[in-house]
Amino acid sequence: MNTQTSLLQKALSNPLSLAGFIIIVCVFVLSMLAPIVAPYDPNYIDVKAILLEPSIQHWMGTDGLGRDVLSRMLYGGRISLLVGLVAVGISTAIGILLGALAGFYRGWVDTLIMRIVDVMLSIPSFFLILAVIAFLTPSIINIMIVIGLTSWMGVTRLVRAEFLSLSEREFVMASRTLGAKNSRLIFTHLLPNSLTPIIVSAVLGVAGAVLMESGLSFLGLGVQAPQASWGNILTDGKEYIQFAWWLSLFPGLAILITVLGYNLLGEGLRDALDPRSGTNH
């Protein structure tokens, strides 16, 4: 735990990483407090307020059904972040399991798992997700599961490399010599010392998952109306893009800023982890 705390402190000493952390916290807090801070019901249809420009009453304007865009953005942030976090949780869990098996047992287990990884990596992930979604009913749960099940390969390779390296360290070899069981070696010595790069990978993975969900929702294959997500708010805006600029601008900025925040923090954590980085000195 001290190692992870030290890593975060080093990362936040970088102004760009600190900016990313602040962005993530602000987006998360606003999204979680949506029922409190949203000025309107996100699904309330007001035929007298269709396509109103941003104003005092509607800070981000209204959409083609008269719904308040700010309220839908706040509630949509909850969905987009939930999908990103859960999908990364699924992919990270799978990656840790398979990477640990491959790196610890080696031999045919390693060969089999890594060949599966190679096959998965040879298929463009977005098209793979589209193919799977085409056979399923678009929903939040399906989107989270599909993104998670198609994005574990990088974590697997990372964990495998960490296990292969750590297995040759003196403290692991000493424990093995003293008769420590495989489960103890994995969960007491190898996995805890592999957590730092896994955390970095997970932070960067959330950005990709949020972007993936937004892309699927934009294509109509993700979160379905009337439930709001940044992707389907953006989709609604494309019909009015010539005269209702706010419907495309605000969800696009939300996606951009959120993904940028996770990438900045992830890169800061990666630099703090790199022994060649100046932030470590």
The 10s digit of each residue's pLDDT in 71-111 is 999 999 988 888 889 999 999 999 999 999 998 888 899 99
The answer to whether the CB of 66 falls within 8 A of the CB of 46 is: yes
The C-alpha atoms of residue 173 and residue 185 are separated, in whole angstroms, by 10
Three-state SS at 68: strand
Domain 2-280 falls under CATH 1.10.10.10: no
Q: How far is CA 155 from CA 116, 162, 168, 275, in A?
A: 14, 11, 21, 21
pLDDT for position 16: 84
Q: Give the DSSP H or E segment for 179.
A: none
pLDDT for position 281: 38
Domain boundaries, the chain: 2-280
pLDDT for position 279: 41
The C-alpha atoms of residue 17 and residue 11 are separated, in whole angstroms, by 6
Report the number of secondary-structure helices (H) and strands (E) in the chain.
13, 0
pLDDT for position 215: 84
Secondary-structure breakdown of the chain: helix, strand, coil percentages, each rounded to the nearest 5: 75, 0, 25
Beta bridge partners of 68: 62
Q: Torsion angle, CA of 226/232/63/56, rounded to 10 degrees?
A: 100
What are the residues whose beta carbons fall under 8 Å from the beta carbon of 43, sequence distance 6 or more? 67, 226, 228
Mean pLDDT by 10 residues, the chain (281 residues): 63 83 93 91 88 91 90 91 91 93 89 92 81 77 88 92 84 74 78 84 90 83 81 85 88 93 87 56 38
What are the residues whose beta carbons fall under 8 Å from the beta carbon of 91, sequence distance 6 or more? 147, 148, 149, 150, 151, 152, 155, 205
pLDDT for position 2: 55
The answer to whether the CB of 129 falls within 8 A of the CB of 212 is: yes
- Listed as own residue / partner, the contacts of 58-67 with beta carbons closer than 8 Å and 24 or more positions apart are 60/246, 60/250, 61/244, 61/246, 61/247, 63/233, 63/236, 63/237, 63/244, 63/247, 64/236, 64/239, 64/240, 64/244, 64/247, 67/40, 67/42, 67/43
Q: How many CA atoms lie within 13 A of 216 on its CB side?
A: 32
The C-alpha atoms of residue 262 and residue 257 are separated, in whole angstroms, by 9
Q: How far is CA 181 from CA 34, 103, 111, 167, 171, in A?
A: 49, 16, 23, 14, 14
The C-alpha atoms of residue 156 and residue 127 are separated, in whole angstroms, by 21
What are the residues whose beta carbons fall under 8 Å from the beta carbon of 36, sequence distance 6 or more? none
pLDDT for position 280: 41
Q: Which amino acid is at 178?
A: L
